[in-house]
Amino acid sequence: MAQVRNNQVILRNYVTGFPKESDMNIVESSITLNLPEGSNDVLIKNLYLSCDPYMRILMNKVEVFEGFPPFTPASPLGGFGVAKVLESGHSDYKKGDLIWGFTRWEEYSLVPSTQIFSKIEHTDVPLSYYAGILGMAGLTAYAGFFELGTPKKGENVFVSAASGAVGQLVGQFAKLSGCYVVGSAGTKEKVNLLKNKLGFDEAFNYKEEPDLNAALKRYFPEGIDIYFENVGGKTLDAVLLNLRSNSRIPVCGMVSQYNLIEPEGVKNLTNLIFKQVHMQGFLVTNYYHLYPKFLEYLLPYIREGKVVYVEDRAEGLENGPKALVGLYSGRNVGKEWRQKQIRKITNRVYEYVKIQPGTANLTFEDLYIAVLLVYNDINKLLPGPHFDPPSKDKVREIIKNCDINLDGEIDREEFFSFIQQMTADTFTYVSQKLIVTMVVAPTIAVATKRATEGVPGVGRVVQRLPNSVYATLVTVAAMWFQNMGQDS
Ligand SMILES: NC(=O)c1ccc[n+]([C@@H]2O[C@H](COP(=O)([O-])OP(=O)(O)OC[C@H]3O[C@@H](n4cnc5c(N)ncnc54)[C@H](OP(=O)(O)O)[C@@H]3O)[C@@H](O)[C@H]2O)c1
């Protein structure tokens, strides 16, 4: 059989400190798409690769995880992923099977069958979930929270790196177990996501808290029963001051320490004695036997929409290094995707308004209508919580801030900045799977126009617009959402 191209992401050299994109290289290799004679291995096409913080540890020269040797310079990175079997030398797998397990960062891989974790039987959920919520990250959250955390109804749970793949699930498991749960994350968007989409009772931005101990006291006046540890360092030290007696700390990860040449010290460990705390590290690899039980527990919740999962995707192997490096600066959960989409909608709406007679730039009324349309669509078309549009005063305030050249109107760049600020809280809740076609948009337009009739100060403005203009605006918004779905 002919050889085909096999692009790979290789490690250039061992890493010290924070990883950089330049520590990895994209190289074009080739592979013959049939099994070597007598091989027991499995030839797979990689479909989704998971980008995980532990990968940085495997870039060290020394072995840290037993059974997980460091990556080898000039060879592809390894990691968990979802793949399709092209040929199999092992009787457990056959051509066409979908599997997830430990593979390499390349298009095609020849892997020993022992590296395959599981055949994928349930394909009514997105396949990519097996690289996250239904894969290694999901099982980690499940094993750590239920086996080590041993939650009881009414207990207080704190999760760090809460918007990450593991943390977001731990928070939802805690809610399903009847606990009170608070998460910490590193951006305002992530905090909003935790509270409004992922069902956390409270969340805070640890980067904006000058005193983490005081922040925890604010959210846990009666103390913490379970701390799901993902970050270590200063957060752990503050948690140690806020524990209840007999509390538990499943130590899942310490992402704040992985890139430090000299790890931070932890000062408050004596609390482990006084509070009789059970603090235990664990590796998901020792809990693989729980996988069938885990699927049985989680799949129904996913199907019923009672557990949701926010994925951050990078398209193409060539974007892998950037995504991996981004994990250590919190540059995940769709930040760049969001920028790209906002640029698209702002250009479209701006162009639309500009062709209206007599308008060079956008006026306050134009902008307020655009804001209402977007919120109307979000509330009408998306499952989940209702989002109140910002008040006119708020819009006015933001417009004032965005009117950089102070001419009382908003030009293209100012409009971009305006929409960015306007949607900062809302954008992360928008479902990436929404399909709205231009065919249904005009119907929605008429319905939404009617819906604004009784709204003081708003109805009048919207009613004055001819139906056709309103429908076009709604269509623009609908196309925006549709494109977001396609691009995600
Ligand atoms: N024990 C096991 O078997 C096992 C298995 C899987 C994962 N893990 C560990 O579980 C933890 C979470 O993994 P994940 O896959 O959920 O991670 P993830 O989705 O990749 O999220 C990582 C997040 O960590 C946060 N972070 C990065 N640097 C930080 C710092 N210096 N201080 C505080 N937060 C920081 C960032 O979010 P912010 O913007 O919020 O800072 C980043 O988005 C990691 O420590 C990982 O190593 C352990």
**Cα of 180 from ligand 1 centre, angstroms:** 21
Sheet holding 42-49, edge to edge: 108-111, 42-49, 78-88, 98-104, 116-119
| 164 CA from centroid of ligand 1 (Å) | 6
Q: Report the pLDDT value the prediction gives residue 316, as an integer from 0 to 100.
A: 83
136-303 folds as Rossmann fold (3.40.50)
Expressed in angstroms and rounded, the spacing between residue 141 Cα and the centre of ligand 1 is: 12
The CA distance from 294 to 283, in Å, is 16
pLDDT, residue 431, reads 32
Position 449 scores a pLDDT of 55
> 17 — phi, psi (to 5°)?
70, -155
**Helices vs. strands in the chain: H and E counts, helices first:** 16, 13
Distance separating alpha carbons of residues 12 and 286, to the nearest angstrom: 31
Whole-number pLDDT of residue 365: 72
Q: 3-128: what fold? A: Quinone Oxidoreductase; Chain A, domain 1 (3.90.180)
Reported as half-sphere exposure (CB side, CA atoms, 13 A), residue 145 has a value of: 29
pLDDT score recorded for residue 241: 98
Pairing of strands 224-228, 156-159: parallel
The finding on whether 54 has its CB within 6 A of some atom of ligand 1 is yes
Q: Which atom of ligand 1 is nearest to the CA of 256?
A: 31
- Which two tokens mark 277? 């705390």
Q: Is 334 in the pocket of ligand 1 (CB under 6 A)?
A: no
- What residue owns the CA closest to ligand 1's atom 2? 283
Phi and psi angles of residue 189, each rounded to the nearest 5 degrees, phi first? -60, -45
Calculated CA dihedral for residues 91, 96, 102, 104, nearest 10 degrees: 120
Ligand 1 pocket mutation, candidates 59, 80, 182, 255, criterion most atoms within 8 A of CB = 255
C-alpha–C-alpha distance, residues 375 and 385, integer Å: 12
The domains of the chain are located at 3-128, 136-303, 335-487
What angle in degrees, to the nearest 10, is found between the helix axes of 392-402 and 412-422?
A: 140
For residue 434, what pLDDT is reported? 31
Binding site membership of 167 for ligand 1 (Cβ less than 6 Å): yes
- Does the Cβ of 165 fall within 6 Å of ligand 1? yes
- Cα(217) to ligand 1 centroid in Å equals 23
The span from the CA of 422 to the CA of 65, in Å, is: 45
Ligand 1 center to 253 CA (angstroms): 7
What is each CA distance from 337 to 37, 269, 345, in whole angstroms?
Answer: 45, 41, 13
* Spatial separation of the C-alpha atoms in residues 333 and 316, rounded to whole Å: 17
Same CATH topology for 3-128 and 136-303: the answer is no
DSSP β-bridge partners for residue 145: none
For residue 52 and ligand 1, the question of a CB distance below 6 A is answered with yes
For residue 52, how far is its CA from the centre of ligand 1 (angstroms)?
Answer: 8
pLDDT of residue 435: 27
At residue 452, the 3 state secondary structure works out as coil
Q: What is the pLDDT along the chain (488 residues), one digit of tens a residue?
A: 678 999 999 999 999 888 999 999 999 999 998 898 889 999 999 999 999 988 999 999 887 777 778 999 999 999 999 999 999 999 999 999 999 999 999 999 999 999 999 999 998 888 889 999 999 999 999 999 999 999 999 999 999 999 999 999 999 999 999 999 999 999 888 898 899 889 999 999 999 999 999 999 999 999 999 999 999 999 999 999 999 999 999 999 999 998 888 889 999 999 999 999 999 999 999 999 999 999 999 999 999 989 988 877 777 898 899 889 988 876 655 334 455 555 666 666 666 555 555 555 566 777 777 667 656 655 554 444 556 677 777 777 766 665 555 555 666 666 666 666 665 554 443 333 332 323 334 444 555 555 555 555 445 555 555 555 555 555 555 544 444 444 43
CA distance 29 to 75: 11
Contact between 313 and 306 (Cβ < 8 Å): no
Looking at residue 327, what DSSP letter applies?
A: T
Helix (H, G, I), strand (E, B) or coil at 420: helix
pLDDT on residue 301? 95
The identity of residue 319, as a single letter, is N
d(CA 448, CA 370) in angstroms, rounded, equals: 13
Nearest CA to ligand 1 atom 36: 330
Nearest residue by C-alpha to atom 6 in ligand 1: 137
